[in-house]
Amino acid sequence: MPPRQALCSAPTGCPTTVCFALISTVLFLASASPIAQSQTYKVIHDFTNTGSDGATPYGGPVLDRLGNLYGTTYLGGTYGNGSVYRLSPHNSSWTYTSLYSFKGVPDGSGPAFGSLAIGEDRALFGTTEGGGYFGTTFVVCACPGREAVVHSFGMGTDGAQPIGGVVLDSLGNFYGTTSLGGAYGNGTVFEEKRSGLKWTESVIYSFTGGSDPINPAAGVTLDAQGNLYGTASLGGAYGNGAVYKLSRSSSGWTETVLYNFQGQSDGQNPVGGVVIDKTGNLYGTTFDGGINGGGTVYELSPSNGTWAFTVLYSFTGGYGGPYNKLTLDGKGNIYGFTNGEGAYGLGSVFKLTPANGGWTYTDLYDFVGGTEGGQPYGSVAVDDSGNVFGTAVVGGKYNQGVVFEITP
């Protein structure tokens, strides 16, 4: 594909700040029973779907080094096609700024489940499910009003419908997935290679079907050696999805399937992707299955050229488990959410803490709906103090979704 100019630069006067049933009572392979913990839950923004404010925040927020939150909404904004926003802390409250409203064509519509990626040049990178030809990658300056389309999908075999967001490397290149399209129609992994203020898009892998996983909804994760890891919720050897790795070599990229889900105690439909810790262990979730039917949290550890699979926790319920990437903090704790389970069937936020060779599960919050919101889809962000930030798609004061904070 031809290179396209896309990096936004700050306009004159732009500020210099960095402008996706019941909780299980059975802990599988853990050292202690699940515990409850006193938390404070607070809605810090109610989306209104009026003016430039957004609605339906499928994507979770990300934090910059100054404590600002950035995120997207699937709908709303000035043109109804979604928006990019910033929430800045101010004393005990938060100041909301609408950074960009998507127009649909040609700049994209419907930023979906993937969180934004923050570049060192104060740029915010992401994907839209629609708009362009069949979805886009975009960059937005953290100063309001400046956006550029990096690539428009759906022409030829470049893929279509990128819904999982992107990940940046140290050189400013970024990587993501499309859930459809490619050489075999089963989705792709793509690279946007940067040269100055331009990127060149290329497909680095097209999912083939058969025993290969298909339709990756989640974005990829990058390790220190430049390898990419991800999940596809369907296909694989048993048809229940798989975890894959893409390794870079001088001749291109090689795909390896690390684990095929069997749909038994291991779970099935790994929608959310994986995260990686400092020692190279992968952590992810399944939306469904497991010994209690409500999805699982799992670990994949490299071991003598193979990967050892362990279930860390199994949720109780059915087809409402974790939907997006987990979040790791600096102490090795894992944070995540369920989409439709929890005590009231509207989702929950949880924490897994390593302890005595196992993991301790803590239920941080169960969504109650109404003005408090419900049904989270996006990953949570966690600051150094252990405060957890996220979004819920339904509810809130105007029933357009909320941004929330959970304070330990």
pLDDT tens readout for residues 200-243: 999 999 999 999 999 999 999 999 999 999 999 999 999 999 99
Bridging pattern class, strands 327-328 and 234-235: unpaired
**From CA 266, how far away is CA 171, in angstroms rounded?**
37
Of 191, 189, 192, 190, which Cα lies nearest the Cα of 214? 189
b vs e for 99-132, b when ≥16 Cβ sit within 10 Å of the residue's Cβ? bbbbbbeebbbbbbbbbbbbbebbbbbbbbbbbb
What's the pLDDT score for residue 38? 66
Read off the amino acid at residue 64.
D
Domains plus CATH for the chain?
20-407 (2.120.10.30)
22-31, 39-48, 349-358, range with the lowest pLDDT = 22-31
Query: Which pTM was predicted?
Result: 0.90
What's the pLDDT score for residue 357? 87
Among left, alpha and beta (phi > 0; psi -120 to 50; other), residue 343 is alpha
Read off the amino acid at residue 405.
E
Integer Rg of the chain from CA: 20
Give phi and psi for 115, each to the nearest 5.
-75, 160
pLDDT in tens, 249-294: 888 999 999 999 999 999 999 999 999 999 999 999 999 999 999 9
Of 296, 155, 299, 159, which Cα lies nearest the Cα of 229? 299
Question: Which residues on neighbouring strands pair with residue 316, listed in sequence order?
Answer: 22, 293
Query: Can you say whether the dihedral through the CA atoms of 155, 249, 198, 77 is positive or negative?
Result: positive
CA 89 distance to own-chain centroid: 23
